[in-house]
């Protein structure tokens, strides 16, 4: 899931679908033509360590606003994209295409945002206009399972939210899926307290 987080700058949906099912090494997708510096935050970085200086895309501010501003007392660094921002980098990705095809949508219907803290925890938000979150989550799980190492999903209540949770054994990271309206959220963390905090702030 380090690839999931670090490569999100270049194509949020591509990374979300490919890395959640990846058991191999990290390969970075072709960056978006949007001129932004692409940092690669490490999961081993101290929570109190300084993050590098960079400019992140922020073209779906309404989604960014749904993410928590702090996690575990640390400021959350946020970014967001519209589908048109990363169409050139993501349109040929098989997992992304399969997921969007399964819900009858295209990149024009997508926006995405994410936030992370230096300790490695991250929250992702995906909106696919007009598609119920339960369908987004179900199809996301199916696409992930058929494109790499399958994960065992179970139902739970975390932070007052009904979620689907699983452990990515290839990266030893806990994944939480939660939905609301036409939104799908993914929380990635090894800290149960952070998971509780992050999910409790989501709509």
Q: Give a three-class secondary structure readout of 152-169.
A: CCEEEEECCEEEEEEEEC
Q: Helices 133-146 & 12-19, crossing angle to 10 degrees?
A: 60
Rounded Cα distance between 21 and 145, Å, is 7
Confidence of residue 56 (pLDDT cuts 50, 70, 90): confident
pLDDT tens, position by position, 97-146? 777 788 998 878 888 898 999 998 999 999 999 999 999 999 888 876 66
- Both structure tokens of 19: 């890395």
pLDDT at 9 over 50: no
Distance set, CA 56 to CA 22, 52, 77, 132 (Å)? 25, 11, 9, 29
Q: Look up residue 58 and give its DSSP letter.
A: B
Rounded distance between C-alpha atoms, residue 95 and residue 143, angstroms: 6
**Phi, psi (5° rounding) for residue 105?**
-130, 170
What confidence score (pLDDT) does residue 202 get?
A: 97
At 14-55, the pLDDT tens digits run 444 444 444 344 333 333 333 333 343 444 444 444 445 456
Strands (E), the chain: 70-71, 74-75, 77-82, 110-116, 122-128, 154-158, 161-168, 173-180, 183-189
Mean pLDDT estimate for the chain: 75
d(CA 62, CA 7): 22
Give the helix ranges, DSSP H, for 41-120.
Answer: 61-64, 87-90, 94-102
Model-level pTM greater than 0.95?
no
Cβ-proximal residues to 150 (8 Å cutoff; 6+ apart), any chain: 21, 144
Q: Of 136, 144, 152, whose CA–CA distance to 185 is shortest? A: 136
Share of the chain above pLDDT 90, in %: 42
């Amino acid at each position: 899931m380090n690839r999931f987080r670090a490569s999100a700058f270049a194509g949020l949906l591509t990374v979300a679908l490919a890395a959640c099912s990846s058991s191999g090494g990290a390969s970075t997708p072709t960056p978006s033509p949007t001129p932004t510096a692409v940092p690669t935050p490490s999961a081993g970085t101290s929570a109190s360590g300084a993050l590098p200086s960079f400019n992140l895309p922020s073209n779906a501010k309404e989604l960014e606003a749904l993410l928590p501003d702090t996690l575990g007392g640390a400021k959350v660094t946020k970014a967001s994209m519209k589908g048109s921002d990363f169409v050139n980098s993501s349109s040929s990705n098989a997992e992304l295409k399969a997921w969007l095809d399964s819900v009858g949508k295209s990149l024009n219907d997508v926006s995405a945002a994410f936030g992370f803290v230096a300790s490695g925890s991250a929250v992702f938000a995906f909106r696919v206009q007009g598609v119920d979150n339960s369908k987004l989550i179900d199809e996301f799980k199916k696409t992930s399972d058929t494109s790499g190492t399958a994960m065992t999903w179970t139902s739970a209540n975390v932070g007052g939210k009904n979620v689907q949770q699983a452990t990515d054994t290839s990266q030893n990271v806990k994944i939480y899926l939660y939905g609301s309206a036409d939104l799908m959220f993914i929380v990635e963390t090894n800290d149960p307290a952070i998971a509780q905090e992050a999910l409790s702030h989501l709509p």
